[in-house]
């Protein structure tokens, strides 16, 4: 059963971002009230495992998957002001046709 503390723990592991200072006290209280193990599983590891799951895909290279991870992490920021905008994302060279 997923609890708010488990969900926040998963978000912290996957987002590769720190919680904003204004949320720290609430998070410490939640975390201490609901101790649990951290998986240590990072977003990039998950992405690579999902894409390269034994059936090698020819669509994207390892370098492409690293760039996809970087782009997704740029929007997975807790603070909305730190997230990449749509315009910034579309200006990335990875999206431009060769």
Between 2 and 86, residue with greater pLDDT: 86
**pLDDT in the model for residue 84:** 92
- Residue 57 confidence (pLDDT): 62
What is the structure's pLDDT at 55? 65
DSSP letters, the chain, are ---HHHHHHHHHHHH--PPPHHHHHHHHHHHHHS--------HHHHHHHHHSSSS--SSS-HHHHHHHHHHHHHH--SSGGGSPPHHHHHTSGGGS--
1-24 mean pLDDT: 81
């Amino acid at each position: 059963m997923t609890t708010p503390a488990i969900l926040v723990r998963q978000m912290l592991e996957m987002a590769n971002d720190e919680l904003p200072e204004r949320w720290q006290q609430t998070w410490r209280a939640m975390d201490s009230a609901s101790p649990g193990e951290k998986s240590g599983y990072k977003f990039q590891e998950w992405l690579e495992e999902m894409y390269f799951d034994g059936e090698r895909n020819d669509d994207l290279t390892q370098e492409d998957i690293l760039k996809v991870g970087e782009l997704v992490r740029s929007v997975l920021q807790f603070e909305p002001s730190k997230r990449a905008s749509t315009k910034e994302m579309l200006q990335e060279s990875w999206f431009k046709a060769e």
